[in-house]
């Protein structure tokens, strides 16, 4: 009579438990990237050997971060990763982003302390190393406390489409008094392009028509950043707007 295996542990259960123990003691730093992915995959398929799929995912997306940034469709192109696995991975990625967003919201920033470095420190972990250009807006109240951090666009490897009207409409819905614009350069080099300067001008002008302050536009690169406000560009655009307003009267 065949042996009843319904309650038997999966052959990889011991390996899996060792991974859990290492993570519990040392966090992600105690695991190789493929091991972190493997542990994640067990959430969706607890009784399957997930190591081959984890290694294939790292080969495809290069890093643990790359796996977290992959789309559901891209993940499911990997043999051994199904819908349940992709949901588990996306859940972890979204939870991490939400945690960072809420952490930033809880920070009180008086105007004299709203520095490019502070913004960079808060957003670098969620915006560095991305394969596509992402544009975010920090909406602040009159005390410069963050009301929301909204992702307004996600583009190609070298461009994102920012709808100026949507940025301002969101500010009005939130009752925001000021905004900080942030986007990343997938190349890792934060030098602003002419397109970056043009969209900044459009945003400053649109915000000024609603008496909303534009504090900065920060470009995030590979462990570095560039502040357009620090080079005086936002003040220049604000002056241009005031001159145009006065000339139209």
**Domain containing 160 — which CATH number?**
3.40.140.10
Label residue 56 by pLDDT band (50, 70, 90). very high
Label residue 245 by pLDDT band (50, 70, 90). confident
Q: Is 78 in the same domain as 112?
A: no
Query: Is residue 30 in some structural domain?
Result: yes
pLDDT for the residue numbered 32:
87
Residue predicted with more confidence, 213 or 248: 213
Q: Which of 80, 98, 116 is the last residue of a domain?
A: 98
Residue predicted with more confidence, 98 or 222: 222
Q: What is the pLDDT of residues 2-42, one digit of tens each?
A: 444 444 455 567 777 888 888 888 887 888 888 888 888 88
Helical pair 116-127 and 83-105, crossing angle rounded to 10 deg: 170
Residue predicted with more confidence, 136 or 96: 136
Label residue 111 by pLDDT band (50, 70, 90). very low
What is d(CA 217, CA 16) in angstroms, rounded to the nearest whole number? 45
Q: Is 243 in the same domain as 139?
A: yes
Q: Is 223 left (phi over 0), alpha (psi -120 to 50) or beta?
A: left
pTM of the model: 0.65
How many domains is the chain built from? 2
Q: What is the pLDDT of residues 199-242, one digit of tens each?
A: 999 999 999 999 999 999 999 998 899 999 999 999 999 999 99
pLDDT for the residue numbered 105:
59
Q: Is 137 in the same domain as 73?
A: no
Residue predicted with more confidence, 193 or 102: 193
pLDDT for the residue numbered 2:
45
Q: Is 53 in the same domain as 161?
A: no
Percent of the chain with pLDDT over 70: 87
Confidence check: pLDDT of 47 > 60 = yes
Q: Is 77 in the same domain as 133?
A: no
Q: Which domain holds residue 198?
A: 108-247
Query: Is residue 191 in some structural domain?
Result: yes
């Amino acid at each position: 009579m065949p042996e009843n295996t319904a309650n038997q542990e999966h052959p990889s259960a011991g390996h899996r438990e060792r991974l859990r123990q290492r993570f519990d003691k040392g966090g992600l730093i105690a695991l190789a990237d493929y091991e972190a992915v493997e542990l994640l995959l067990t959430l969706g398929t607890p009784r399957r050997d997930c190591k081959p799929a984890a290694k294939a995912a790292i080969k495809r997306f290069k890093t643990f971060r790359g796996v977290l940034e992959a789309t559901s469709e891209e993940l499911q192109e990997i043999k051994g990763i199904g819908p349940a696995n992709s949901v588990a991975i996306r859940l972890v990625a979204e939870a991490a982003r939400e945690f960072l967003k809420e952490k930033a919201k809880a920070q009180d920033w008086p105007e004299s302390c709203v520095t490019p470095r502070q913004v960079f420190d808060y957003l670098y972990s969620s915006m560095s190393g991305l394969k596509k250009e992402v544009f975010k807006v920090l909406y602040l109240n009159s005390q410069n406390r963050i009301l929301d951090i909204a992702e307004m666009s996600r583009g190609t490897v070298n461009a994102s489409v920012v709808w100026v009207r949507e940025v301002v409409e969101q500010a009005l819905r939130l009752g925001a008094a000021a905004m900080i614009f942030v986007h990343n350069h997938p190349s890792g080099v934060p030098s602003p392009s002419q397109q970056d300067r043009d969209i900044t001008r459009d945003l400053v002008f649109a915000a000024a028509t609603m008496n909303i302050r534009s504090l900065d536009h920060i470009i995030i690169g590979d462990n570095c950043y560039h502040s357009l406000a620090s080079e005086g560009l936002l003040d220049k655009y604000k002056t241009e707007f005031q001159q145009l307003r006065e000339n139209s009267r």
